């Protein structure tokens, strides 16, 4: 199924980029790509976005397993009938599994994309996929609501 392939590509890209960071950068090292705007910064996160829920590894593992099961069920059910929602779910699935692999194997997520201009939390490919996927899901709900006249 195409949507599981998309999730697999996200997982592969996420894990490959994290591997590069772990093997070629020191923890805390920051490489400016656009000085004072965007850096590659090697960081580890033991919590969720914005550093919340630090050291709650098992909570994240349990929640991620439940989310992954729910998304897989939804993708099987929706499939080609709702391509936009299915695409969005495939992005969330790939991102969730990408960060799950980090948490399950090391207890911490490798982050490296650092928008220093706005002091935004450092993130990774999995985080981007989850955020974009959720954004598309919200757009889908909005567009479907408008179609049905709600």
Instruction: Kindly list the strands in the beta sheet with 30-34, ordered across the sheet, starting from the edge strand earlier in the chain.
Output: 30-34, 38-45, 109-114
Distance, in Å, from the CA atom of 34 to the CA atom of 18, rounded to the nearest integer, reads: 20
Please confirm, yes or no, whether 111 is among the known catalytic residues. yes
Distance, in Å, from the CA atom of 72 to the CA atom of 148, rounded to the nearest integer, reads: 26
Residue 110, beta-bridge partner list: 44
List the catalytic residue out of 14, 102, 114, 127.
Answer: 127
List the catalytic residue out of 14, 111, 114, 140.
Answer: 111
Please confirm, yes or no, whether 36 is among the known catalytic residues. no
Can you tell me which residue has the tokens 């599981």? 4
| Distances in whole angstroms, Cα of residue 48 to Cα of each of 44, 53, 67, 108, 120 | 11, 6, 15, 10, 14
- Give the catalytic positions in this structure: 111, 127
């Amino acid at each position: 199924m195409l949507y599981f392939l998309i999730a697999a590509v996200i997982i592969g890209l996420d894990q490959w980029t994290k591997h590069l960071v772990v093997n070629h950068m020191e923890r805390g090292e920051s490489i400016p790509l656009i000085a004072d705007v965007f850096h590659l910064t090697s960081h580890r996160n033991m919590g969720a976005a914005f550093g919340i829920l630090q050291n709650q590894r098992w909570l994240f593992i349990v929640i991620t397993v439940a989310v992954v099961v729910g998304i897989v069920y939804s993708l099987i059910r929706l499939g080609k009938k709702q391509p936009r929602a299915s695409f969005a779910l495939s992005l969330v699935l790939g991102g969730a599994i990408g960060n799950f692999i980090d948490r399950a194997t090391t207890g911490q997520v490798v982050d490296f994309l650092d928008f220093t201009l706005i002091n935004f939390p450092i993130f990774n490919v999995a985080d981007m996929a989850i955020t974009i996927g959720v954004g598309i899901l919200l757009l889908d709900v909005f567009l479907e609501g408008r179609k049905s006249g709600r």
